[in-house]
Amino acid sequence: MPPRTTPTARQERLGAELRKIRERAGVTARAAAALLGTNPIQQSAYEAGRSGISEDRVRRLAAHCACDDAAYVDALVSMANERGKGWWEAYRDIVAPQGLDLAECEHHATRIRTFQVAHIPGLLQSEDHMRAMFSYTSPAMTKRDLDAFVAFRLKRQQVLAGSPGTPYEAIIHEAALRIRVGGRDTAQAQLRQILERSELANVTVHVLPFDAEDFAGTGYSMLYLHGPVPQLDTAQIDTAHRGELFDAESRLKQYQQRYERVAAAALPPAESRDLINRIAREL
């Protein structure tokens, strides 16, 4: 099988986890290659996500490196066994790789939590909201591309509607709810859609009101994607030009603590629904 020229974030993550297992055990790449019956170049390709690796080799490496966390190893094996292409691959020539990586990570997440200050979370956006937002931020976008971007985001939202849907918790700042993206009618319809989605058994929506007394993180929008085991969690933080995915253990702990602090200042679901209804009437 030829090496991958552009591995996905998930493929890179598997490779990074294999490298962590090896390095924590003090095993050299050359020794690991010998153990797996391959060569250092191929071992490097495994650890960079440029080449697939078999279940047997994952388990042999874990056993040799005394990694006895069965749930963690099983999760890595599951990643290694992913051979088919997900629905997002149909958009590879349209959507940036970062967007495809996000869709793939959402698809495999066991729980999704997000906090947004200035935007409605993508998984809760209405189609009209999306069209207005994309048209505003990229006015030169062709109708064909606009339709494709909207279709891609709508497809991402299917993780909430599965049977069962992925558990999803969103904390939305009141500021984002009051911005009239697309005008009053579109904004009101968007709020109604959030209320409808919040009625799903797997969806919880909290509002962080303007008068919250313990919040100072105006630039802290984030998305936290839980993996099957904590070691495989991923966080996305918005930067000036795109969202960046992070998985370093120290940073994940920091992001979890940040999210919990914001959650403590947000309104409970019932009060959040009341505030969303009031904002809809006031728009």
pLDDT at 250 over 80: yes
148 and 47 fall within a common domain? no
Please give the Cα distance from 132 to 144 (Å, whole number): 15
pLDDT at 85 over 90: no
- Pick the closest to residue 272 from 225, 214, 212 (CA basis): 212
Neighbours of 102 (CB within 10 A): 23
161 and 41 fall within a common domain? no
pLDDT at 80 over 90: yes
pLDDT at 211 over 90: yes
Mean pLDDT of 106-112: 97
Average pLDDT over the chain, rounded to an integer: 93
Quick one: pLDDT at residue 242? 67
Percent of the chain with pLDDT over 90: 85
Last residue of a domain, one of 80, 101, 121: 80
The DSSP call for residue 210 is T
Please give the Cα distance from 252 to 127 (Å, whole number): 32
pLDDT at 272 over 60: yes
Phi-psi map region of 193: left, alpha, beta (phi>0 left; psi -120 to 50 alpha)? alpha
pLDDT at 240 over 60: no
Task: Give the tokens for residue 214.
Answer: 């313990």
Instruction: Look at residue 166 and tell me if it is in a domain.
Output: yes
Please give the Cα distance from 168 to 204 (Å, whole number): 6
pLDDT at 169 over 60: yes
pLDDT at 3 over 80: no
96 and 198 fall within a common domain? yes
Instruction: Look at residue 60 and tell me if it is in a domain.
Output: yes
Scan for tokens 């795109």, then name that residue. 242
Quick one: pLDDT at residue 145? 94
153 and 222 fall within a common domain? yes
Residue 218's pLDDT band (boundaries 50, 70, 90)?
Answer: low
What does each C-alpha distance from 243 to 32, 236, 246 come to in angstroms?
34, 6, 10
What does each C-alpha distance from 164 to 110, 168, 195 come to in angstroms?
11, 11, 19
Coil, helix or strand at residue 214 = coil
Angle, alpha carbons 98-101-105 (nearest 5°): 140
Task: Give the tokens for residue 105.
Answer: 């990570």
Q: What is the tally of structural domains in the chain?
A: 2
CATH number for position 74: 1.10.260.40
Please give the Cα distance from 198 to 168 (Å, whole number): 10
pLDDT at 241 over 80: no
Quick one: pLDDT at residue 174? 97
Domain with 271, as residue range(s), is 92-282
Instruction: Answer whether 157's CB lies under 8 Å from 196's CB.
Output: no
Predicted confidence (pLDDT) per residue in 39-53, tens digit? 999 999 999 999 999
Residue 163's pLDDT band (boundaries 50, 70, 90)?
Answer: confident
Task: Give the tokens for residue 241.
Answer: 């030009």
Quick one: pLDDT at residue 239? 66
Predicted confidence (pLDDT) per residue in 5-41, tens digit? 789 999 999 999 999 999 999 999 999 999 999 999 9
- Pick the closest to residue 106 from 199, 245, 249 (CA basis): 245
Quick one: pLDDT at residue 83? 78
